[in-house]
Amino acid sequence: MDKMRVAVFASGSGTNLQAIIDAEIQTIQIVLVFTNNPKAYAIERAKNHNIPVEVIDHKNYQTREEYEKHIIEVLDPYKLDLIVLAGFMRILSPVLVRAYKNKIVNIHPALLPSFPGINSARQALEYGVKYTGVTVHFVDEGVDTGPIILQSIVEIEDKDTEESLLRKIHKVEHRIYPKAIELISSADIEVIGRRVIKKY
């Protein structure tokens, strides 16, 4: 079976990118790291593993749609099967989502549909829940509303601060994101409505 051609989008340090690289998933080839941030450390991580990098700064575009149209033009030659958002700090518009329908995945630091959007760990602490977690999901045209691929639980202890909770969440992210990508690339799942079903 041909390996799935994957692009990883990152805006910052790229720790989830590194976790995916380190997992050495046999069913994928990371053919591109894309960033909107010319100073992202993810660029160095990509170079360290001889992965091509594309940098397109969103600040140079008037609208999100114009920006994403250019992204699509740049991505086209890479013949991508999957886009993995790994700390990409931009909300995607329908332009990119429709161009890669059911081919974009994201990781969110909460058990969706609870605590969508930003500052999810803070939201969980302020609400007083005893458990939060991590969700890997397909991206649709909403914010953190796409079909859920994998989830994992993180216990919140009384002593937890936002920083300590985020550390625990990040450890789980680094474990389950490669697992979710492997599931997708092994053709072991299918999307039926909102449900992502494992094939047996």
Is 108 a known active-site residue?
Answer: yes
Phi, psi dihedral angles at 11 (to 5 degrees): -115, -10
* Cα–Cα distance measured from residue 31 to residue 57, given in angstroms and rounded to the nearest whole number: 20
Cis peptide bond N-terminal to 94, omega within 30: no
Catalytic residue among 49, 58, 108, 174: 108
* Total-model pTM: 0.96
Instruction: Report, at the CATH architecture level, how domain 4-198 is classified.
Output: 3-Layer(aba) Sandwich (3.40)
Q: How far is CA 115 from CA 74, 84, 108, 159, in A?
A: 33, 21, 9, 20
Could you tell me where the beta strands, DSSP code E, fall in 58-199?
A: 82-85, 104-108, 131-138, 148-155, 189-192, 195-198
Task: Give the domain ranges of the chain.
Answer: 4-198
pLDDT (tens digit per residue) in 64-118: 999 999 999 999 999 999 999 999 999 999 999 999 999 999 999 999 999 999 9
